[in-house]
Structure 1
Amino acid sequence: MEPIFALDIGTRMVMGLVMIKNEDQTYEILASAQTEHRQRAMYDGQVHDVDEVARAVDKVKTQLEKKIDTKLKQVAVAAAGRALRTEVAVVEQKELLPVRWEREKVLALEIEAVHQALRQLQSSANEELQSYHCVGYNTIARWNEGEEIANLVGQRGRVAKVSVIATFLPRTVVDGLVAVLGRVGLEMTSLTLEPIAAGQAAIPPNMRRLNLALVDVGAGTADIALTRSGSFFAYGMVPMAGDEVTEEICTQYLLDFKVGEKVKRELQKKKQLSFTDFLGAKVVVGQSDILEIIKPVVVRLAENISNEILKLNNGVPHAIILIGGGSLTPLLSELLAETLGIPQNRVGIQVRDRLAGISGEKTLKGPETITPIGIGIAALEGNGLQYYTVSVNGTSVPIFALQLATVAEALLAAGIQPRSFLGKPGAALTFELNGEMQVIRGTLGSPAQLLVNGKPSKLDQSLNARDEIIFTPGESGKDAQICFKDVLPLYVTKWILWNGQSEKYVPQIFVDDQLVCETDQIRDGYKVAYLNNNDLDNLLQQKKYNINQKEAIEITVNGELLRFELDRQVWVNNCLAEGNRPIQDGDSIETRLKELTVGDLKLKPQPMVFHINEEEVEYPIQEIIITSQGQPVSESELLRDGTELRVSGYKQKPILSELLPYVKFPDKVHTGETLTLTVNGQPAEFTTVLHPGDRLKVNWEKVNN
């Protein structure tokens, strides 16, 4: 196996190793080199000064090339684990009619889910301005018609749904590394994550069954990786590390950062330290005094690391393994054990000497060597993310993948939207026709055209480095368009008589109660009411004539207003229409009210009442006489609105002599008495005409001579 150049670009130091895997499956370090940044050029694992970091990388590369007498062109690196982001996303695709879910459609749906995961990531408050590389995804669930299914390909349905978990790295992190390597003529071939790389070297596979916490304490951050049941299951980060301790020393003694770093490193070796402060004064101080100064900072660091471990692990792990240059910070291991409540011997620093299967370069001893060794192991075992470039429509696109990427993933990395992979069908036209849903489908779209190295390809074709992809987006189908006349029954004109008037009877089309023309275009969402001219019900609806509604007429009887509600009727060709019936060309239609006659009123006149000698007397009705406007009417006469009737029981008013039979006279009349007649107190004659209510007095009275 060819040697691998593993490079660890840290916040404080750049370390490079050239490693090889032997036939006995052990690893050998052929050469190593390291240097520190002259100034702070890396912050939290991200390149901030490309030229300064490139200077340090070039120095390490040059030293290694001299040691192995070979030009180095390719390199394996690691990205800060805290930069890794994962998102779970679910997308759904609906079709109007059932379709067969072929591989191309399913793959496009999966890539759309990855896009959705990216949108979710970028929409979060802290990530909205960040851009990402997708470094891999897995489909974790699939559904067809709401039923979870193992594989969508070949299934048939209207609704498909997939759920994916996608992993992303910020483009700024990756692009910064690529820019640095490009400055010194190196090509990235493998990318791993720092906690994964460190874990590969620091914790053997057979120990990962235990619940262990690996803490890589660097200069700016402390990365955390947790194992359980044979694998790493969680990663975390604390945004403070060794630099916090160094800065506390610098603040207390007014030191340059490099001098403060030197003092910190010598704390474990010397009981008394001497140094010169920034103003030139020589300072001599005891180890215990400096430990007291830095202890509050180390306590805070230990507490932050412990809290993150407890949050990720949901409990205290079996042991803590420290690596990285910051793991040598005085008091850290003791305070970690105390904070977590575990024995001191359960917190240890992993060093090169305890790594099994690693030979060569015996000078590499400290915990800061663990991560670069892990980067080399990951590259040699092929566990890193493959990195290479392909061309999409002439633009170079970086590809990261745990396996060979597909054309679909390359298009995703190039920012091409999945919806353009397959031309969408034209939008369907949906509308309601007399309450029933109608669907007019658009035309089908055309699929995208794909060429890889000049040959036709498919979305799921695997890619190799430097492949050239030409992508022509699929064309969408045409949206559905149609006129009313194309979906409605045959349009026929009829002529009818409506209440005696000749009229044209044609079908009517309404949209939201507005009359439209048969040649108008139907729009999506229209609610169409179509009234054909084939029957009586449609005619009455056109005329807005409600057959079930009653109509009122008013008549006057002897000055009293009477109101009647009459049923409506429709007569077709002089025949009463009972229910619906066809309407033919030339039919006569009349709307009438149900007949009401004088006889239906059963009118009875009021008898005349008189008062005779203080007694009430009813003059009997002679006959019923009904008149209208002075003319007699019969009981069969039809009544109309506004008719005025007079009802009487007498042809003429009676005279006084006609009421004498109703007078109670005394049985015996005396001599000298005469009959006296008065009406309403006035003398009257036998021929005096009477009026209803008149008061009569009829008596025999004695006449005085």
Structure 2
Amino acid sequence: MEPIFALDIGTRMVMGLVMTKNEDQGYEILASAQTEHRQRAMYDGQVHDVDEVARVVAKIKAQLEKKLDTPLKQVAVAAAGRALRTEVAVAEHKELLPVRWERENVLALEIEAVHQALRQLQASADDHLQSYHCVGYNTISSWNEGEEIANLIGQRGRVAKVSVIATFLPRTVVDGLVAVLGRVGLEMTSLTLEPIAAGQAAIPPNMRRLNLALVDIGAGTADIALTRSGSFFAYGMVPMAGDEVTEEICTHYLLDFKVGEKVKRELSKKQTISFTDFLGAKVAVDRLEVLEIIRPVVGKLAENISGEILRLNNGAPHAIILIGGGSLTPLLCELLAETMGIPRNRVGIQIRDRIGEIKGEKSLKGPETITPIGIGIAALQENGLQYYTVLVNGSPVSIFALQLATVAEALLAAGIQPRSFLGKPGAALTFEINNEMRVIKGTMGSPAQLLVNGKPSKLDQSLKAGDEISFIPGEAGQDAKACIKDVLSLPKSKWISWNGQRERFAPQVFMDNQSVTETDQILDGCKLAYLPNDNLENLLKQKKYDLTQKENVEIRVNGEFQTLKLDREVLVNGSRAEGDRILQDGDSLETRIIQLTIGDLQLKPEPMIFYVNGAEVDYPIQEILITSQGRSVSETEPLRDGMDLRVNGYRQMPILSDLLPYAKFPDEVRPGSSLTLKVNGQPAEFTTVLHPGDRLTANWN
């Protein structure tokens, strides 16, 4: 197996190793080099000064090339573990009508879900301006028409949906590393995460069954990884490490940072420590004095680490393993055990001698060597993220492949929007004709044109390093358009006669209640009303003439008003017609009211009532007499609006002798008796004219 150049770019120290894997499954360090940054160019594991970090990396590279007498072109590195982010997201695509989901459609939908995951991540991030690099994704679930399905490809439906889990690293972290390596002529071939790399070297697989906490303490941060049941299950970070201890020494004794770092390192070697402060004074202090000065800040570091472990682990682990240069900080192991509440012998510093078969470079023994060795092991075991470069429309794009990368992933990494992979169909035109829904489809979009190394390709084609992709976005389809004559076949006009007037009977079309012509464009979502010129019913609709509407006629009968409702009718060519009557060119139509006659009223006069000797008498009606404005009318005469009718049953008023037959007299009348007649108590004669209601008395005296 080819040797691996493993590079650990820390906040304070940069270490490089060239490693290989032996046939006995052990590892050998062929060469190593390490140096410190001249100034603070790294903060919390992220590159802040590219040129300064590149200078240190170039120095490491040159030393290793000199030792090995061979050029180094490729390198494996690690990113800060706290930077890794994952998101689960869903994307959905809808069509107006059912379509068959092809592989290109499904892949574009998956990439859209990755974009949604990226949007979710950016929305939830503390820094909303932070940009992230997708390093891989997997599809969790797929749905067709709301039903979960194993594979969408080949299915038919209107609504497709996928759920993916996507993994991201901040672009600033990745781009910073790539920029540094590019300055010194190195190509990144593998990227792992610092806590994963450190865990692979520091904790053997058979020990990961235990609940252990691995703490990689550097200069700026303390990265935490937890094991249980055979694997790492949680990662965390404390933004505090060895630099805080150094700064406490510098503040107390007024020292330059480098001098303070030297004092901190000598605490474990000398009883009396000598140094020169920033003002030039020479100082010698006892080791115990310095320990008391740093005890509060070391205690705070121990509290922060313990708190993060307890949060992630929901309790104290079986043991805590420290690695990294900051793990050598005096008092840290004691205070960490005390804060965590576990025995002192359960907190220890891991060194190279206890991590398995690692041969070569015996001088590398300290805990700061664990992470670079882990980076080398991860690369040799191909556990890191494979990294290579392709060209998209002439621009280099960095690709991480958690799985074999495809053209679609390269386009995504290049910032090309998924919606341009496949030209979307043109919008459909939807409208109603007489309450019936109609749909006219837009044209289908054209797919993107893809070439890989000059040959036609597809979105799911796998890539290899150096491939050149030419991408021309797909074009959207044309939106559906139509005018009235495209959806309606309008007949010719007819000429008719309407109540004596010659008129043109033409078909009518209304769009949202506005009259339109056959050349007008149909608007999306509109409602069309079409009235053809075929039958009587549609003619009456055009003229808004309602046969069910009644005509009111008002008359008076004996002084009382009455309102009559008269029906309408239409005559076609002189004959009464119904609504379904087909009209022909030249037809004559006449509207009229169906008339009533006086006889239809069935008028009857009221009888006259008289009182004869106290008994009520209904004087019989002689005949029915009807007059209007003093004119006698017959029952066959039509009724007209405003008629004033009088109904009478008598041609003349009766006289007293006409009522005598209704009077009751004694059976026998004495001779010499005389008949006395009165009307309303007044003497009357046989010829006295009577009026309704009169009271008549007739007695023999």
Structure 2 SS opposite 1:17: strand
Distance, in Å, in 2 between the alignment partners of 1:664 and 1:304 is: 133
Question: Which runs of structure 2 are paired with 1:298-697 in the superposition (5 Å)?
Answer: 298-498=298-498, 501-548=501-548, 552-565=552-565, 580=580, 582-587=582-587, 596-608=596-608, 619-654=619-654
Q: 1:356 deviation in Å?
A: 0.5
Deviations 1:334-365 (A, max 9, x none): 44444444444333322212110211112212
Match of 1:156 in 2: 156
> Cα distance 1:220–1:594, how it changes in 2: closer, same or farther (>3 A)?
farther
Alpha-carbon offset, residue 424 of structure 1: 2.3
Q: Which moved more, 1:460-469 or 1:533-542?
A: 533-542
CA distance 1:229–1:542, shift in 2 (3 Å) = farther
Deviation at 1:135, TM superposition (A): 1.4
What is the match of residue 204 of structure 1? 204
Which amino acid letter does the alignment assign opposite residue 151 of structure 1? N
* Cα distance in 1 for residues equivalent to 2:316 and 2:432: 64
* Residues 541, 132 of structure 1: alpha-carbon distance in 2 compared, 3 angstrom cutoff: same
AA at the equivalent of 1:485? K
State the identity as a percent: 78
The alpha carbon displacement at 1:394 in A equals 1.9
Deviation at 1:433, TM superposition (A): 2.2
Q: Is the 8 A contact 1:448 1:475 kept in 2?
A: yes
Q: Is 1:6 aligned to residue 11 of structure 2? A: no
| Structure-2 change in CA distance of 1:281 and 1:189 (3 Å) | same
In structure 2, the residue matched to 1:216 is: 216
Shift of 1:546: 4.6
Cα separation, partners in 2 of 1:700 and 1:77, compared to 1, 3 Å: same
Give the secondary structure class of the aligned counterpart of 2:40: coil
Tell me the alpha carbon deviations over residues 605-645 of structure 1, each in whole angstroms, 9 at most, x when there is no partner. 33445688998766543322223333334444444544432
- Which residue number corresponds to residue 186 of structure 1? 186
Q: For 2:624 and 2:466, how far apart are their aligned partners in 1?
A: 117
Indicate the SS of the match to 1:86.
strand
Inter-partner Cα distance in structure 2 for 1:304 and 1:554: 101
Q: Secondary structure at 1:158's aligned position in 2?
A: strand
8 Å CA contact 2:320–2:346 kept in 1: the answer is: yes
Change (3 A) 1:687 1:308: farther
Question: Which deviates more, 683-692 or 418-427?
Answer: 683-692
Give, in whole Å, the separation in 2 of the partners of 1:384 and 1:580: 82
**1:162 match: secondary structure:** strand
Q: Distance in 1 between matches of 2:338 and 2:579?
A: 95
Whole-Å separation in 1 of the counterparts to 2:382 and 2:651: 128
Name the CA shift for 1:115/1:614 in 2 (closer, same or farther; >3 Å).
same
What's the CA shift for 1:198? 1.4
The Cα shift of 1:471 comes to 1.4
- CA shift, 1:429, in A, is 1.5
Do residues 166 (structure 1) and 157 (structure 2) align?
no
Evaluate the alpha carbon distance shift between residue 303 and residue 617 of structure 1 in structure 2; reply closer, same or farther with a 3 A threshold: farther
Question: What residue in structure 1 maps to residue 118 of structure 2?
Answer: 118
Shift of 1:537: 4.1
How far apart in 2 are the matches of 1:670 and 1:278?
173
Alignment match, 1:43: 43
Letter in 1 for 2:87: E
Q: Match of 1:65?
A: 65
How far is the alpha carbon of 1:517 from its aligned partner? 1.5
Q: Is the 8 A contact 2:663 2:698 kept in 1?
A: no
**Kindly tell me: are residues 382 and 599 of structure 1, through their superposed partners in 2, closer, same or farther at Cα, counting changes over 3 Å?**
same
2-structure distance, mates of 1:527, 1:246: 78
Paired residue for 1:128? Answer: 128
SS of the residue 2:478 aligns to = coil
Letter in 1 for 2:152: L
Structure 1 residue 209, shift from structure 2 partner = 3.7
User: What letter matches 2:23 in structure 1?
Assistant: E
Residues in 1 aligned to 2:4 and 2:524: alpha-carbon distance in whole angstroms: 63
Distance 1:303 1:588, change over 3 A: farther
For residues 613 and 284 of structure 2, what CA distance do their matches in structure 1 show? 151
1:585 CA drift (Å): 4.2
What amino acid does structure 2 have at the position aligned with 1:478? Q
Q: Report the alpha carbon displacement of residue 50 of structure 1 after superposing the two structures with TM.
A: 1.6
Deviation of 1:220 (Å): 1.8
Cα distance between partner residues in 1 of 2:348 and 2:570: 103
Q: Please give the per-residue CA displacement for 1:47-85, whole angstroms capped at 9, x wherever unaligned.
A: 111222222222222332333233333222111122222
Residue type of the alignment partner of 2:476: S
Q: 1:19 to 1:635 in 2, by over 3 A?
A: same
**In structure 1, what is the Cα distance between the partners aligned to 2:272 and 2:630?**
142
The verdict on how the C-alpha distance between 1:673 and 1:116 changes in structure 2, with shifts beyond 3 A counting, is same
1:652–1:674 CA distance, 2 compared to 1 (3 A): closer
**The residue matched to 1:148 in structure 2 has which SS?**
strand
**Whole-Å Cα distance in 1 between the matches of residues 21 and 389 of structure 2?**
26
Letter of the 1:476 partner, please give it: A
| Counterpart residue type for residue 399 of structure 2 | I
Equivalent position amino acid for 2:485 in 1: K
Residue of structure 2 equivalent to 1:265: 265
Q: Is the 8 A contact 2:536 2:578 kept in 1?
A: no
Cα deviation code 1:221-249 (max 9, x no counterpart) = 22222334443333222222222333334
One-letter amino acid of the counterpart of residue 358, structure 1 = I
Render the CA deviation track for 1:244-291: whole Å, top value 9, x for unaligned. Answer: 333334444444333333343344445565555444556665555554
Q: CA deviation at 1:521?
A: 1.5
Per the TM alignment, residue 197 of structure 1 is displaced from its structure 2 partner at its CA by 1.6
Confirm or deny: 8 A CA contact 1:80 1:193 kept in the other structure: yes
Distance in 1 separating the partners of 2:224 and 2:87:
20
Per the TM alignment, residue 648 of structure 1 is displaced from its structure 2 partner at its CA by 2.2
Q: SS of 1:104's equivalent?
A: helix
Decide whether the 8 Å contact of 1:597 with 1:635 is kept in 2. Answer: yes
- Cα separation, partners in 2 of 1:304 and 1:579, compared to 1, 3 Å: farther
Partner of 2:101: 101
Stretches of structure 1 that go unaligned for 5 or more consecutive residues are none
**Which of 408-417 and 315-324 deviates more?**
315-324
Which amino acid in the other structure matches residue 456 of structure 2? P
Task: Report the more deviating stretch, 563-572 or 525-534.
Answer: 563-572
SS at match of 1:169: strand
Would the aligned equivalents of 2:535 and 2:579 in 1 still touch at CA under 8 Å? Answer: no
Question: Residue 55 of structure 2 corresponds to which residue in structure 1?
Answer: 55
Return closer, same or farther for 1:286/1:598 CA change in 2, 3 Å cut-off.
farther
CA distance 1:654–1:186, change in 2 (3 Å): same
User: Are the structure 2 counterparts of residues 238 and 433 from structure 1 closer, same or farther at C-alpha, using a change threshold of 3 Å?
Assistant: farther
Aligned partners of 1:547, 1:447: CA distance in 2, in Å?
A: 59
SS at match of 2:371: helix
Does the 8 Å contact 1:442/1:478 carry over to 2? yes
My pick for the range that moved more, 449-458 or 353-362, is: 449-458
Residues 670 and 345 of structure 1: CA distance in aligned 2, closer, same or farther (over 3 Å): farther
Look up the equivalent residue of 2:67 and give its one-letter code: K
Letter in 1 for 2:189: T
Q: Provide the residue aligned with 2:176 in structure 1.
A: 176
Is there any run of 5+ residues in structure 2 with no aligned partner, and where?
A: none
TM-score normalised according to structure 2 size? 0.88
* Residues 1:230 and 1:637: Cα distance change in structure 2 (over 3 Å): farther
Alignment check: 8 A CA contact 2:385 2:400 kept: yes
Q: Is the 8 A contact 1:669 1:700 kept in 2?
A: no
> C-alpha separation between the residues in 2 aligned to 1:305 and 1:596?
106
